[in-house]
Amino acid sequence: MKKETKYWKIDKIKDDHKIAMEEAAQLIKDQEVVAFPTETVYGLGADATNEQAVAKIFVAKGRPSDNPLIVHVADEHQIEQYVTSIPDIARNLIKAFMPGPLTIILKSNGKIAKNVTAGLDTVAVRIPDHPIALELLRSANLPLAAPSANVSGKPSPTKADHVFHDLNGKIAGIVDGGATGVGLESTVIDCTSEIPVILRPGGITIEDLKQVIGEVMLDPALTKTEDQPKAPGMKYNHYQPDAPLWLINGDANFFQDQINQLVEAGKKVGVMGSVELKSEIQAKMIISCGTRQDLKDIAIHLYDTLRAFKQTDVDIILCETFVETGVGQAIMNRLNKAATRKITQD
């Protein structure tokens, strides 16, 4: 059944936008789902204490029900209301990185709806660093369960247009606050073990985390493909553009060879990569996602670029690989998941 999706365009929260924010908050209180910007990607929010409201998120996205959601709150005090306790390490993380692109997993006290945590005894929480997200949280005065506001399997939305494309007619509203900042989702860190474990690399890097809490582990599933990841969502296909994506790990000559072979075989090839790659190779369709000199720039444009191929008729997308330092780790995590094949130069 098609729904009417309300759309509010908001540049900055000025007085004339307060009404829009109140309307959006009222829909949330009425157990509807509303998409809103955060500093990472757009989220699809519903009252995290209400099972019926949360169920609508899973339906709209086509999301598997065993994949738990992140609970968004406005401040540390609100985190305390949904967990059994906050260990010192988690307190330090909250102090250093929240509001910001970090999600911490803590033991749940059971006050969050069961379908948010997919039956786990833990809950993922974060405080988004975005004025619109914070305003919505305060106006609704509720914790918001919010996954990325895309159809499951597609790249996460970094612009309201992306949300509109995927979810118009399926959700109650979209708050358009322009492009998001970080471009990739939050880092998810499990604080229920003695040494915290990174389940998903993201906006806050391992280097940043180590500076604050010292020892941090990486979920082994992030580096090996055989292991079952601890964040249930990490096992699904993700971030996939409309044409198959192949990752090409090699120099510019090697990249050019791959293009040529496919073109000779009659394929329409699209290339995704840095401005540097664009200047080194030749192809009919190249979309650049930033400069190798600044991985944060690549992160900001990554999903938008993956989606940009939708407007083309390419059969296949070839993409370069990036160094896995800083936010490069999160970039390569997403690209590895989006890719159907990887070709490495000998």
- List contacts with ligand TXA (CB under 6 A): 38, 40-41, 43, 67-70, 101, 103, 105, 117, 120, 122-124, 128, 146-148, 185-186, 188, 199-200, 230-234
List the one residue out of 234, 191, 186 whose CA is nearest residue 212: 191
Amino acid 290 reads G
Collapsing DSSP to helix, strand or coil, 188 comes out as strand
As a whole number of angstroms, the distance between CA 91 and CA 71 comes to: 17
Residue (148 or 258) nearer to ligand TXA, CB: 148
Phi, psi (deg, nearest 5) at residue 79: -60, -45
Residue (148 or 329) nearer to Mg ion, CB: 148
Residue (42 or 255) nearer to Mg ion, CB: 42
| Binder of residue 5, out of ligand TXA, Mg ion, none (CB less than 5 to 8 A by kind) | none
Phi, psi (deg, nearest 5) at residue 313: -110, 30
Residue (115 or 117) nearer to ligand TXA, CB: 117
CB of 286 to ligand TXA, least distance (A): 29
CB of 222 to ligand TXA, least distance (A): 11
CB of 195 to Mg ion, least distance (A): 26
Give Cα separations from 139 to 173, 221, 249, 261, 330 (angstroms). 15, 39, 48, 56, 32
List the one residue out of 179, 134, 183 whose CA is nearest residue 159: 179
| Binder of residue 199, out of Mg ion, ligand TXA, none (CB less than 5 to 8 A by kind) | ligand TXA
Q: How many CB atoms lie within 10 A of CB 59?
A: 11
Question: Alpha helices of 9-66 — where are they, by DSSP H?
Answer: 15-29, 51-61
CB of 58 to ligand TXA, least distance (A): 10
Amino acid 283 reads A
Residue (240 or 256) nearer to ligand TXA, CB: 240
As a whole number of angstroms, the distance between CA 283 and CA 224 comes to: 33
| Binder of residue 41, out of Mg ion, ligand TXA, none (CB less than 5 to 8 A by kind) | ligand TXA
Chain centroid, CA 42 distance in Å: 8
Residue (9 or 114) nearer to ligand TXA, CB: 114
Residue (160 or 199) nearer to ligand TXA, CB: 199
- Which residues does 215 contact at the CB level (< 8 Å), separation at least 6? 195, 196
Residue (19 or 218) nearer to ligand TXA, CB: 218
Q: Are strands 102-107 and 217-218 parallel, antiparallel or unpaired?
A: unpaired
Instruction: Write each residue from 105 to 144 as x if it is in contact with Mg ion (CB under 5 A), else as -, in one continuous string.
Output: ----------------------------------------
**What DSSP string runs through 260-310?**
HHHHHTT--EEEEE-HHHHHH---SEEEE---TT-HHHHHHHHHHHHHHGG
Q: Which residue, judged by CB position, is nearest to ligand TXA in the bound state?
A: 233
Residue 148 is a binding residue for Mg ion (CB under 5 A):
yes
| Binder of residue 123, out of Mg ion, ligand TXA, none (CB less than 5 to 8 A by kind) | ligand TXA
CB of 68 to ligand TXA, least distance (A): 4
CB of 197 to ligand TXA, least distance (A): 10
CB of 193 to ligand TXA, least distance (A): 12
CB of 233 to ligand TXA, least distance (A): 3
- Binding residues vs Mg ion (CB under 5 A): 148
